[in-house]
Structure 1
Amino acid sequence: MLSAIRCCLLPAVKLYLLGLKVLLAQLFSRHFRLPVMPRQDGKVAIVTGGGRGIGYEVVRHMARLGAYVIIAGRDEQEGLAAVRRICEEYKEAKVEFNILDLASLQSVRQFVQSFKERDLPLNILVNNAGVMLVPEGRTEDGFEQHFGVNYLGHFLLTWLLLDALKDSGKCGHFSRVVNVSSSAHCIGKIRLNDLNSCQCYSAHAAYCHSKLAQLLFSSHLHQELQHGGSPVSSCAVDPGMVDTALYRHLWMPLRLAHSTVAHLLLRTPAEGAATVLYAALSPALEGEFGGGYWANGCREMTTPPTFDPQLQLSLWETSLQLLGL
C-alpha cells in the first residue's frame, strides 16, 4: 500500500507543486515578445503537432514569413482545417499537411520516406507534438505512451531527417532542430533498465521522465553535431504553462478549475510559441549559439542530470538499440 502511494501519489504532488511554482512565476514576470524575425523565403520547415495549440501558432508565423511549412500530425481533419485557416489568413502561405503518428515507428519511417522522395531541403524541424498524463497504455511498437510519443518517436524522426538537415545547412544559415520540452523535466528520472515504466506506473512520472529524455537527447545531439562540424544545431524550449488541450487529462477537480481560469492565468498559444519561434528563426542563434535550454526568450540553466554526459550517451545508445538503428 505504501509503495503504491509512493509510486502514484508522490509524482503527482511533485508535478502539481511544480506547476503552481511555474504559474506564479509567469504571473509575476513579463512574458517574452518575439522580435521581428527575418523573411524565411526558400526555407522548408516541418512542425509536428502543428494542427493546433503552440504548433499551429509556430506554423502560422513561419508561413507568414514565407517559409514552406509541413504540418506533421495524426489527425488529418484537424491538420487540413489548420491549412485552410492559415491560407485564408495569408493568401501567399505555403502550408501542407502530412500524416505522422509518432506512436507508430512505421508511420515515422513512411513520413520520412515520402518527404525524401520529394527532394526538398529541410531547414527547420520543430519537435512539438506530445501527450501528457494519458492513461497507461502502449504505442503500436509496445512502448509506454509518453516515452514512445514525446521522446522515441521524435528521436527516430530526427535521426532519419539528419541527412536532409545537414545537406540544407550552410555557413551562416545552420539548419535547426527545436525540441519543445517542459519544466517538468526537472523532476523526471531516467531509469535505463525501465524506460517503459513497467515496474511502477504513474502517468505524472512518465510524462516528466519523457521530457527529461527529450532534453538529454537535444543536448547530446547538439554536441554530436558541433563536434562533427555539421551545419545543424539542436536546442530545447520550455514554452511555459500554455492554455492548450494538453491539460485534458488532469485530475477531474483540477481539470474543472483549469477550464474556469485557464484563459486568465495561462499563456496563450501565441505567447507560448514565441520562444519556440525565436529558437527556430533568430539570426542571433546561429551555429554553436543555437544549443541549450530556452525559456521565456532566454537561455537557462537546468537540473544537473541534463548535463551528465554519461547519462546522455547511455540514453542515446539505448535508444538506438530500441529502434534498431
Structure 2
Amino acid sequence: MLSAIRSHLLPLFKLYLLGLKVLLVQLVSRPFRLPVMPRQDGKVAIVTGGGRGIGYEVVRHMARLGAHVIIGGRDEHEGLAAVRRICEEYKEAKVEFKKLDLASLQSVHQFVQSFKERHLPLNILVNNAGVMLVPEGHTKDGFEQHFGVNYLGHFLLTWLLLETLKDSGKSGQFSRVVNVSSSAHRIGKIRLNDLNSYQCYSSHAAYCHSKLAQLLFSSHLHQEMQHGGFPVSSCAVDPGMVDTALYRHLWTPLRLAQRTIAHLLLRTPAEGAATVLYAALSPALEGECGGGYWANGCREMTTALTSEPQLQLSLWQTSLQLVGLQ
C-alpha cells in the first residue's frame, strides 16, 4: 500500500518541482525571438496538432513564408477553423486539414496513405500533438494514452513517411523531423517490459516517460539518417511552459493558479513556437548542424539516459514490433 502511494506521489512532486524550476527560469530570462526565416515556397510540411496552441502558430508562420502546410489532427472542426483563420490572414496561404488520430494506428496508416497518393514531397514533419496528465486510459490499440499518442503514434507516422522525407531532401536542403518534447523527459524512465505502465499507473510518470521516449527516438533517428547518408535530420525541441490547453488536467488548485498567473509566467503560443520554427526552418541548422535537443533557441545538454545507444536501439526495435512493422 505504502509502495503504491509512493509510486503515485513521487512522480507528481518531481514533475511539479521541475515545473516550478522552469517557471522561475522563464521569469528571469527573455523568450527566444525567431530571426527572419527564408521563404519556404515549394516546400511541404506536416504539423500534427496544428489546429491550436503552439502547432497553430507553427502552421501560421510557415504558411506566411509560402510553405504548403498540412494540419494533421483529430478535431476536424478545430482544424478547419484554423485553416479558415490563416487563409483570411494570408490570402495566398496554402493550408489544409486532414484527419489524423494518433491514438489509432489505423488512422495513422490512412493519413499516410492519403498523403502518399498525392505524390507530394515532404520537407518538414513537426510531431507536435500531445496529451498531458490525462486520466488512466488506453488508445484504440490498447496502449497507455501518453505513450500511445505522444510517442508511438508519432513513431509510426514518422516511420511511414521516412522514404518520402529521404526522397525530398538533398544536399544543402535536408528534410527535417522536429519532435516537440518537454523538460519533463528529464525525470522520465523507460521500462521496456512495462511501456504501458500496467505495473503501477501514474499520469505524471506516464507523461514524463512518453517525453523521454520521444527524445530517444529523435536522437536515434538522426543517427540512423547520418550513418545511412540520407538527407534527413531529426531534433527535439522543448518549447517551455506555454499557455495552452495542454494543462487542463493539472491538479485543480494548480490549474486555477495557472489561469491567474499565465500572463506573467507562461510563454505565449507564439513564443513557444519560436524554437520549433527555428529547428524546422533555420539555415543555421542545415545538414550535420541539425539534430540535438533545443530549448529557447539554444542547443542544450540533456540527461545521459537519452544518449544511451543500447536503450535507443531497444526502444526502436520494440516500437517496430508494437506497431506491427517487424
TM-score tier, shorter chain, comes to: over 0.9
Structure 2: distance between partners of 1:308 and 1:10? 25
Q: Partner of 1:97: helix, strand, or coil?
A: strand
Once the two structures are superposed, residues 184-206 of structure 1 have per-residue CA deviations (whole angstroms, 9 ceiling, x without a partner) of 00000000000000000000000
- TM-score, L = length of structure 2: 0.99
Q: Partner of 1:38: helix, strand, or coil?
A: coil
Q: What is the match of residue 299 of structure 1?
A: 299
Q: What is the match of residue 260 of structure 2?
A: 260
Query: Residue 23 of structure 1: CA displacement?
Result: 0.5
Q: What is the match of residue 171 of structure 1?
A: 171
Once the two structures are superposed, residues 127-169 of structure 1 have per-residue CA deviations (whole angstroms, 9 ceiling, x without a partner) of 0000000000000000000000000000000000001100100
Letter in 1 for 2:172: G
Query: Residue 287 of structure 1: CA displacement?
Result: 1.0
Q: Partner of 1:237: helix, strand, or coil?
A: strand
Structure 1: distance between partners of 2:111 and 2:227? 29
Q: What is the match of residue 273 of structure 1?
A: 273
Q: What is the match of residue 308 of structure 1?
A: 308
Q: What is the match of residue 83 of structure 2?
A: 83
Q: Partner of 2:45: helix, strand, or coil?
A: strand
Structure 2: distance between partners of 1:177 and 1:224? 13
Q: What is the match of residue 116 of structure 1?
A: 116
Letter in 2 for 1:263: H
Structure 2: distance between partners of 1:28 and 1:194? 39
Structure 2: distance between partners of 1:2 and 1:288? 49
Q: Partner of 2:270: helix, strand, or coil?
A: helix
Query: Residue 264 of structure 1: CA displacement?
Result: 1.9
Q: What is the match of residue 289 of structure 1?
A: 289
Structure 1: distance between partners of 2:55 and 2:8? 30
Q: What is the match of residue 55 of structure 2?
A: 55
Q: What is the match of residue 195 of structure 2?
A: 195
Structure 2: distance between partners of 1:124 and 1:15? 31
Q: Percent identity over the alignment?
A: 89
Q: What is the match of residue 22 of structure 1?
A: 22
What 5-or-longer segments of structure 2 have no aligned partner?
Answer: none
Q: C-alpha root-mean-square deviation of aligned residues, in Å?
A: 0.4
1:34 aligns with 2:37: no
Structure 2: distance between partners of 1:33 and 1:19? 22
What 5-or-longer segments of structure 1 have no aligned partner?
Answer: none
Once the two structures are superposed, residues 50-103 of structure 1 have per-residue CA deviations (whole angstroms, 9 ceiling, x without a partner) of 000000000000000000000000000000000000000000000000000000
| Structure 1 consecutive aligned stretches of length 4 or more whose deviation exceeds 6 Å | none
Q: What is the match of residue 216 of structure 1?
A: 216
Q: What is the match of residue 240 of structure 2?
A: 240
Query: Residue 256 of structure 1: CA displacement?
Result: 0.8
Q: What are the residue-to-residue correspondences of 1:143-154 with 2, within 5 Å?
A: 143-154=143-154
Letter in 2 for 1:23: L
1:225 aligns with 2:211: no
- TM-score, L = length of structure 1: 1.00
Query: Residue 261 of structure 1: CA displacement?
Result: 1.2
